[in-house]
Structure 1
């Protein structure tokens, strides 16, 4: 029996730590008889980092040739089918999946977080695309409920990044303890006023706790300037950690007492490594994660105006909240491996 070629399609190659972690998980979970072919925003970097075949994701002739030479297309994971950031997202991902389906490839929508889908055409295209997949897995109840309303069956399991192995980070333990991590990103909800309130609160929090603040940009183009602005104001020890390796990015949180994060995968990585978490939600996926894990936090739109109040709540979380229990983390990790089971079922050798 020969090898099967599977094209992997997601938001890969753009320096986003969460999406790179999903790619690392997907490569880790593929059956051994499947050869991955990755569509990437930076194919050379993807090839070097993961040792896989990679091609540009927006070259039409190349895409057609790659699909013609493949047996399957895996679409995942994360918030790909949504039109909140751009109306082009459903067109690109849905169009590519429908093309693969029309060409006779096995298609899998893997570890999806669906929506928001604000436009009627986006919803129609999503329904058509998911309906014709041989396998669908989703990572949250909201996505499962949406598919159920469309009479589309799916597997519901926690985000695959729960099951990604962490790697140690060089010199992390040389930094002073105790440590907290902060992972903010640029977004219209994080207005200059709200950022100033958060920085003011974080300065006071560090003084009160004598912690070392680790600023963790998940995507340099969106996060680094904010990290630099925060660090310039802190009075105590701090470090900006820019890490390209997703396993090392997860490994940061092994040495951290508490994480304050907007980033969805920052919260998952921190929680899975036994860290207390405080969420700042800018997106429904973060709000759903807060609810599912019962994490303390705020919707950014409801952030208190008084930095002293923000600081007091963080201090209470730092002193009194508990990380997820080992049993709960193990359960989440075990259930996240259901995404691997789906791959094995759909990509089984004939």
Structure 2
């Protein structure tokens, strides 16, 4: 059986690559994946799978014609907050696959925000005709349930991603603190400067090694490069392209300060203390689900000293998830694997 995997793949985003790696890890052995990618050659080299250009309509059509299934592979694909085009690209491919008679799976989805009526209508139509649906958070579940679509709710699949060791990580001085920021209109130069000053004071007080992690270098690297010269102690910028190494990185970290959703998930799964800076409802939802300390980007303290104090308190006295909580969450995340195995079960022929 062949399945076309559709997501924000091959675009240099560590979180979406982690979702692809998780999906490939969970696919049944009898399923041969064809990945729609922004960088097909890199995807093929990284994962050893067939990949075709995601924006080449002839290549995508040919892949669908050769396949038995179509999978939305995790993430917030059906949302119109970053671009109105998202629902039309992903929804259009899903509708096309459904018209072609493929088994269609919305897998590990975070649904919304859907601000426009056309986006909501398109999302509703596509989900209603899926073979199977799994979502990663309760807000998405409530929305899809309101459309009377059967669904499975489980934590983000990246909780269950297997890690791969990072060469040289353990040679860096301990303790280590990871920082994963991303560009956003509300991350103004003043706010970025405040965060940098707070980090510098935090590092002076703790003598920690600061690891700046650009999950999507095209967006995040400039931020890391702006912060690093202001840090008084040892620091490194680690731009890792392997999502399994990204996952394992957090096992060598004591605490994480992050905007990126999957940085927080990976860190929490590694028993890190986490401070979330939320720029999006999906990050706020994670904070609520796991009682994770943090603040929305527009409600950060306006004093660097106050922010430093919050981080010092978390570093000294904060709690990470305990191993039992983590294992329970990983076990629940593996429910996404059960959805795949059920929906992609071979058809027995008489």
TM-score range, shorter chain: over 0.9
Of the three residues 268, 278, 282, the one matched with 2:275 is 278
- Tell me if 1:64 matches 2:61: yes
User: How many Å apart are 1:149 and its aligned residue?
Assistant: 1.1
The alignment covers a number of residue pairs equal to: 347
**RMSD after superposition:** 0.5
- Tell me if 1:98 matches 2:95: yes
Aligned position for 1:214: 211
Matches within 5 A, 1:197-212: 197-212=194-209
- Tell me if 1:55 matches 2:32: no
**TM-score normalised by length of structure 2:** 0.99
User: How many Å apart are 1:62 and its aligned residue?
Assistant: 1.3
- Give, in whole Å, the separation in 2 of the partners of 1:281 and 1:317: 17
Aligned position for 1:348: 345
CA deviation profile, 1:42-98 (whole Å, cap 9, x unmatched) = 000000000000000111111111111110000120111100000000000000000
User: How many Å apart are 1:349 and its aligned residue?
Assistant: 0.3
Aligned position for 1:45: 42
Of the three residues 244, 249, 264, the one matched with 2:246 is 249
Structure 1 alignment gaps of length 5 or more: none
Aligned position for 1:262: 259
- Give, in whole Å, the separation in 1 of the partners of 2:279 and 2:315: 22
Aligned position for 2:6: 9
- Give, in whole Å, the separation in 2 of the partners of 1:134 and 1:86: 27
Matches within 5 A, 1:1-350: 4-350=1-347
CA deviation profile, 1:112-166 (whole Å, cap 9, x unmatched) = 0001000000000000000000000000000000011111111000001000111
- Give, in whole Å, the separation in 1 of the partners of 2:176 and 2:276: 17
Q: Secondary structure at the match of 1:232?
A: helix
- Give, in whole Å, the separation in 2 of the partners of 1:173 and 1:32: 34
- Give, in whole Å, the separation in 1 of the partners of 2:196 and 2:342: 48
The 4+ residue runs of structure 1 with deviation greater than 2 A are none
**TM-score normalised by length of structure 1:** 0.99
User: How many Å apart are 1:23 and its aligned residue?
Assistant: 0.3
- Give, in whole Å, the separation in 1 of the partners of 2:269 and 2:2: 32
User: How many Å apart are 1:336 and its aligned residue?
Assistant: 0.4
User: How many Å apart are 1:168 and its aligned residue?
Assistant: 1.2
- Give, in whole Å, the separation in 2 of the partners of 1:105 and 1:24: 23
